[in-house]
Amino acid sequence: MRTRLSICRKKARYPSYEAALVVARSADIELRPYPCNQCRQYHLTGRLKGKRMPRER
Ligand SMILES: [Zn+2]
């Protein structure tokens, strides 16, 4: 998944997957860390069931 630079700059960055995971687990909603191709760090994303996730269908 590619991350837009505009999105990257809005989101919190985490230096490692583990650091992001700690934050994700403390959140009320379901979040997942993912590596960002812009800053080479990690962000959190939610809405895994949403419409914005492209599917093969
Ligand atoms: Zn980023």
Report the alpha-carbon distance of residue 8 to residue 6 in Å, rounded: 5
Partners of 26 in beta bridges: none
Q: Which residues contact 39 (CB under 8 A, 6 or more apart)?
A: 8, 13
Structurally, the chain folds into a number of domains equal to 1
**Residue 16 lies inside a defined structural domain of this protein:** yes
Q: Which of 16, 20, 39 is nearest to 31 (CA)?
A: 20
Distance (angstroms) between ligand 1 centre and the Cα of 19 equals: 14
Cα(36) to ligand 1 centroid in Å equals 5
User: Is 25 part of any domain?
Assistant: yes
Strand partners, 33: 44
Q: How far is the CA of 39 from the centre of ligand 1 (A)?
A: 4
Distance from the alpha carbon of residue 47 to the mean position of ligand 1, in angstroms? 18
0.85 exceeded by pTM: no
Q: Give tens-digit pLDDT for 1-52.
A: 677 899 999 999 999 999 999 999 999 999 999 999 999 999 999 866 655 5
53 lies in some domain: no
Domain region containing 29:
5-45
